[in-house]
């Protein structure tokens, strides 16, 4: 079951463009002040750093991710989530179709 829409949000109109556009997201603020983002990663292998802990929720496509200190690439697809601790880094590898996600913070 994927989350197709997020309702009653405020959208920051300027996108976040990472890695020359290999990752593009738009930041959202929910009515209760919670911040999330919706984004897409194009085929690439990218390393992201976290501040707050993140939960990545796939909404289309799939990726493989590898947490810092792990040797294992783990596949995650639409309707699946994975957690990344705060103040660390992780790699994401996308091939073929783009990976669309919701990033939940905190």
Compose the 49-68 pattern: x for residues touching a copy of itself by CB under 8 A, - for all others.
Answer: ----------xx--------
**Site for a copy of itself, residues 14 to 53, rule: CB under 8 A:** 14-15, 17, 20-22, 24, 26, 28-29, 38-40, 42
3 binds a copy of itself (CB under 8 A): yes
Stretch that binds a copy of itself, among 2-10, 47-55, 64-72, 85-93 (CB under 8 A): 2-10
Please tell me whether residue 21 adopts helix, strand or coil conformation: helix
Task: Give me the least distance between CB of 91 and a copy of itself, in Å please.
Answer: 19
13 binds a copy of itself (CB under 8 A): yes
Which distant-in-sequence residues (6+ apart) come within 8 Å of 58 by Cβ? 2, 76, 77, 78, 79, 80, 81, 99, 100, 101
Dmax of the chain from CA atoms? 40
Residue 24: CB atoms within 10 A of its CB come to 16
């Amino acid at each position: 079951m994927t989350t197709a829409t997020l309702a009653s949000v405020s959208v920051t109109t300027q996108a976040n463009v990472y890695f020359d556009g290999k990752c593009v997201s738009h930041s959202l603020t929910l009515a209760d002040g919670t911040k999330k983002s919706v984004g897409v990663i194009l085929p690439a292998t990218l390393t992201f750093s976290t501040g707050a802990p993140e939960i990545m929720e796939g909404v289309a496509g799939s990726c493989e991710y590898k947490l810092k200190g792990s040797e294992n690439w783990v596949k995650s697809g639409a309707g699946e989530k994975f957690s990344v601790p705060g103040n660390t880094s992780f790699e994401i590898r996308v091939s073929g179709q783009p990976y669309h996600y919701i990033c939940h913070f905190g």
